[in-house]
Structure 1
Amino acid sequence: MPGDQLDVDELCILSGLLSPPTMDTLEAMEEMADSWSWLKPALPELRMLGLPVLRHEYQRLFTDEACPARESAWSDQVMAGGTHNLLVLYRQAGIALQGRAPDSLAMQLIYAAWYLEQDLPNSPYGWRDLWEHLCGWVPRFARCLQEKAALEIYRALGRRLEELFTPCESGA
C-alpha cells in the first residue's frame, strides 16, 4: 500500500515541527531523538542557539513565507477540494485547527495520522487519494526547506519530508 512506511507518531512529530516552537519544543526533540534518528544531527545546534533563534527561523521560513507550509502556496488543488471541505474533514475527525490554516501541512499531517490510526487504510481508495495528494506538493516544499533553512532542524525536516513523500512522485 502507498505510504506504508508512515508512522502515526512520526507524522505527529513532523506536524509539531511545522508549528510555532514553544518552551517544550527543545525538550521534546531531545526525548524524540532516541527514537527518530533523523532529529539527532540538529540537537547540538539547537542546544547552542536556543529557543529564540529557533523561533526567529520559524518566523522567517513559515510566517514570512520563505517556504510557506501551506498547500495553496504549492498547488492549485487544495486537498478535499478546498478549505471548506478540509474544515469538514477535520471536524468529522475531531481535529481542531489550533490557529493553523486548514491547508497547512501541519494540519494535513495530523489528518493523515488520524486516518492511519483509524485503520482506514483498509479502504485503499481514500488513503491512496490522501497519499497521492500529499506527494503532489510536499516534496517541493521539502526541497525549499532544505535550500532556504538556516538551521539544521529545518533542513533535517525537509530531508525527512522529501524522503517520506517522494516515492509516489515518481509513480512508486
Structure 2
Amino acid sequence: MSEVKAVAPTWRALAEDARMLTALHDRELDAARWDALAQVEFPRNLTFPVEPELAEAFLYARATWPAMVADPLTALAADYAGIYLTHACRVSPCESPWIDEDGLVMQEPMFEVRAWYARFGLEVEDWRMRTDDHLAHELDFVAALLEHGELAAAAGFLDEHLLVWVPEFARAVAHRADTPFYAALAHLTTAWLAGVRDLLAEELGVPRGAPLSLDEARRRSRDRAAAAGLIQIGRKPAPAFVPGESW
C-alpha cells in the first residue's frame, strides 16, 4: 500500500469497523473477545450505525442466548467451524464458489481479487491455507483502502466483489447457522457493507448503481476467464461446491 494520505477521521474509524468485522469472521471467539464485545456493546460501537432493529436483535441474542445452552463458547466454536472451516453448514466463506458457474474454489474470482490486492502492493500470507477471496481477507482489504483514503477503489471493490456475493452468503448463514450470533453477524456484515457503500457514493459524488446480480457476475467471470485462457473447452469439471447445497 502506498504512503498514507490525509484521510478524514470518519474513514479511519470505518476502517476500524471493517477490522472488527474481519476479526469476527477470521477466527472463533474466545472468552476474552466474547466479553469484550459485551463491554463495547457491539454492534452499537460501530462508526456506521446499522439499523436499530438489527442492532437490538443482536444485543438481545447476545444477552439471552447463553442461558439457553450449557456451554456458549463451545457452541460458538462449533458453529464457527461449521460455517468457516469444515463446511458442515454447506456455505462457503469464499467468493469463488458463489460466482464460478461450476461452484468451484480458487477460480477466476479469486484471481480477480488477487489482482486488486496486487494493485496496492498487498498479498495474502498463505493462499493455500486461506484463499485470497475469503471473506476475512476481502474485509481486511476494504479496511486498508479506507484507512489509506483510496475511496474510489473501495467503492469499486465493494461493487465488483463483496456486495455481489456476501448478501447471498448472509442469507444462507442465517438459515443454516446453529447460533443466533453468527446468523446476526452475517446480516450485520451485509448491512454495514451496503451502508459504507452509500457513504462512499455521497463522498465521491457518484450515485451508487445497482450491484451485479450473481448471474451477471457469473457471466462476467466466465468471459474474463475465457479471455485469459483459463477455461479449457471440453474440460471435465472437478466436483463442484454449490453454496447452500453441496458438502
User: How far apart are 1:119 and its partner, in Å?
Assistant: 0.7
Query: What letter corresponds to residue 159 of structure 1 in structure 2?
Result: H
- 1:109 matched to 2:117? The reply is no
- 1:71 matched to 2:95? The reply is yes
Q: Normalised by the size of structure 1, how large is the TM-score? A: 0.76
Match of 1:42 in 2: 61
Hey, what's the Cα distance between the residues in 1 that align with 2:21 and 2:163?
A: 15
Structure with the larger helix share:
1
Hey, what's the Cα distance between the residues in 1 that align with 2:131 and 2:59?
A: 29
Q: Deviations over 1:91-133 (max 9, x none)?
A: x247646953321001100010110000111xx2x23320102
Hey, what's the Cα distance between the residues in 1 that align with 2:117 and 2:14?
A: 23
Is the 8 Å Cα contact of residues 117 and 123 (structure 2) preserved in structure 1? no
More off after superposition, 153-162 vs 95-104 = 95-104
Is the 8 Å Cα contact of residues 71 and 103 (structure 1) preserved in structure 2? yes
1:42/1:100 CA distance change after superposition, 3 Å:
farther
User: How far apart are 1:56 and its partner, in Å?
Assistant: 0.5
User: How far apart are 1:138 and its partner, in Å?
Assistant: 0.9
Hey, what's the Cα distance between the residues in 2 that align with 1:153 and 1:146?
A: 10
Is the 8 Å Cα contact of residues 46 and 54 (structure 1) preserved in structure 2? no
- State how many pairs are aligned: 163
Higher Rg: 2
User: How far apart are 1:25 and its partner, in Å?
Assistant: 2.7
Match of 1:171 in 2: 210
Is the 8 Å Cα contact of residues 21 and 55 (structure 1) preserved in structure 2? yes
Hey, what's the Cα distance between the residues in 1 that align with 2:22 and 2:40?
A: 14
Question: What does 1:1-172 correspond to in 2, within 5 Å?
Answer: 7-23=14-30, 24-33=32-41, 35-36=45-46, 38=55, 39-44=58-63, 45-46=65-66, 49-65=71-87, 66=89, 67-76=91-100, 77-78=108-109, 81=112, 83=114, 85=115, 88=118, 92-93=121-122, 96=125, 100-121=130-151, 124=152, 126-132=153-159, 133-165=161-193, 171=210
Hey, what's the Cα distance between the residues in 2 that align with 1:94 and 1:118?
A: 16
Hey, what's the Cα distance between the residues in 2 that align with 1:136 and 1:89?
A: 21
Structure 1: 5+ residue stretches without partners: none
Is the 8 Å Cα contact of residues 12 and 109 (structure 1) preserved in structure 2? yes
More off after superposition, 154-163 vs 45-54 = 45-54
Task: Give the percent of matched residue pairs that are identical in Structure 1 and Structure 2.
Answer: 20
Is the 8 Å Cα contact of residues 147 and 155 (structure 1) preserved in structure 2? yes
